[in-house]
C-alpha cells in the first residue's frame, strides 16, 4: 500500500467552528491540523510536508523557498491572490483552488443587502420592540419609507458565476439588469455597458469582480459622484475594490444612500476603519460564503483536489 503524503492544514478555524468535519482530507493524506498559523510559523509547520492546505495564508516566493519539500498548495477558496502563482510554477508546486462553490450563498447575501435597504426590516423590528406600533393611532405604522425593487436597476460589475446568478435572481424580482465585464456575453435580459454607466444608472450596484491591478480602488470618489443619491453600493468581492475613505465620505455627504459590505480592505477589521461610523453602512464579517452547506461543499471539493493531486491527475489547477 502506497504511503500517504504528509499534508498540513494551516487554518482549519477558517473552515469550521466544529460544526462541519474536515475528515475528508484524511482519505488523501496524513493531515496535521492547526487552527491558525502566524506567517512566521509557516516554514516550521511545513517542515517535511509535501502539501499545504490553506485559505488566506500568504505564499510568496520567499516563503516557498523556505519550504523545500512542498509540492502542493491547496486553496480552500476561489481567490488565489495570496499565492504567487508564477513563483509556484517555477518551483514545480501545484496550486489548486475551489471555483464556484459559493455562488448560491454569495448571491443570496447580495439580496439580503438589497432587501435590507428596501424593506427596512431591521428598523421596523426595532420600532415595534420599542413600543412604536403599540403607540400607533393607525393599524399600520410606516415611519420608514420602503420601496419595491421591481423595475429598479441592478448594476453588476464583474459577470462571472456569482454575477450571473445575481442577475437571474434580479430578473425573478422584476428588476432591470445592466452589467460591466471584461468579457461581455449574450444573456437574455441583461444589458452590457461600461463601468461608469453602471454607476450612473443603477439603483443597486453589486461588485462581483476579482481584485486585480485593474480593479483596485475601482470604486473611488469620481465613480461615487456619478451615482444617484438613492443608490446603494454592495461589495461581496474583495475589500480592495473600494476606496474606503471615498465611500465613507460619500455616505456622510449623502452622495449615495447606503452601502452593504461583506468585505473590507483589512480583515479582520481594524478599530480605525472609517466605515464603522459611516451612516447607512451595513457590514457583515466576510460571511457571505460561510453557510453550512457552502462550507461542506468547499471541503468536499478541496479534499477531492488533494486526492486528485496525490493520484497524479490534478484538477482545478490555477494556471495564472
Which residues are known to be catalytic? Answer: 238, 267, 286
- CA nearest neighbour of 101 among 295, 236, 285: 295
The residues facing 9 across adjacent strands are 33, 53
Cβ count near 225 (within 10 Å): 14
Q: State the cell numbers at 109.
A: 447575501
Q: β-strand 258-261 against 281-283: which pairing, if any?
A: parallel
- CA 157/CA 256 separation, integer angstroms: 17
Task: Give the closest residue to 22 by CA, choosing from 38, 9, 6.
Answer: 9
Nearest 5°: phi and psi at 5? Answer: -75, 160
> Exposed, middle or buried by CB within 10 Å (0-12, 13-18, 19+), for 272?
exposed
Question: Which runs of E-coded beta strand occur in the chain?
Answer: 5-9, 29-33, 51-54, 72-75, 94-96, 153-157, 176-180, 190-192, 204-207, 232-235, 258-261, 281-283
In the chain, alpha helices (H): 42-45, 61-65, 85-90, 103-119, 121-129, 161-172, 195-201, 221-226, 244-252, 292-310
Q: Alpha-carbon distance 34 to 54, whole Å?
A: 10
Amino acid at each position: 500500500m502506497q504511503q500517504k503524503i504528509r499534508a498540513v492544514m494551516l487554518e482549519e478555524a477558517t473552515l469550521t467552528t466544529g460544526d462541519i468535519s474536515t475528515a475528508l482530507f484524511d482519505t488523501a493524506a496524513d493531515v496535521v491540523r492547526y487552527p491558525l498559523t502566524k506567517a512566521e510559523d509557516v516554514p516550521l509547520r511545513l517542515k517535511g510536508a509535501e502539501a499545504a492546505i490553506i485559505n488566506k495564508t500568504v505564499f510568496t516566493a520567499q516563503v516557498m523557498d523556505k519550504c523545500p519539500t512542498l509540492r502542493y498548495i491547496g486553496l480552500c477558496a476561489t481567490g488565489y491572490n495570496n499565492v504567487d502563482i508564477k513563483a509556484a510554477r517555477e518551483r514545480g508546486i501545484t496550486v489548486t483552488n475551489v471555483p464556484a462553490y459559493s455562488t448560491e450563498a454569495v448571491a443570496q447575501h447580495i439580496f439580503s443587502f438589497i432587501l435590507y435597504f428596501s424593506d427596512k426590516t431591521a428598523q421596523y423590528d426595532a420600532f415595534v420592540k420599542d413600543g412604536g406600533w403599540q403607540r400607533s393611532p393607525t393599524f399600520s405604522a410606516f415611519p420608514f419609507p420602503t420601496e419595491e425593487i421591481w423595475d429598479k436597476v441592478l448594476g453588476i460589475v464583474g459577470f462571472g458565476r456569482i454575477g450571473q446568478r445575481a442577475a437571474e435572481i434580479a430578473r425573478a424580482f422584476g428588476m432591470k439588469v445592466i452589467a460591466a465585464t471584461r468579457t461581455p456575453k449574450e444573456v437574455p435580459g441583461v444589458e452590457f455597458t461600461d463601468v461608469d454607466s453602471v454607476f450612473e444608472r443603477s439603483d443597486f450596484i453589486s461588485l462581483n469582480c476579482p481584485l486585480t491591478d485593474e480593479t483596485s480602488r475601482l470604486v473611488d470618489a469620481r465613480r461615487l459622484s456619478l451615482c444617484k443619491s438613492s443608490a446603494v453600493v454592495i461589495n461581496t468581492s474583495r475589500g480592495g475594490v473600494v476606496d474606503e475613505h471615498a465611500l465613507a465620505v460619500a455616505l456622510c455627504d449623502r452622495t449615495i444612500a447606503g452601502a452593504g459590505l461583506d468585505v473590507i480592505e483589512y480583515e479582520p477589521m481594524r478599530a480605525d476603519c472609517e466605515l464603522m461610523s459611516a451612516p447607512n453602512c451595513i457590514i457583515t464579517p466576510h460571511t457571505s460564503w460561510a453557510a453550512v452547506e457552502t462550507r461542506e461543499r468547499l471541503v468536499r471539493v478541496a479534499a477531492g483536489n488533494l486526492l486528485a493531486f496525490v493520484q497524479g491527475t490534478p484538477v482545478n489547477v490555477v494556471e495564472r
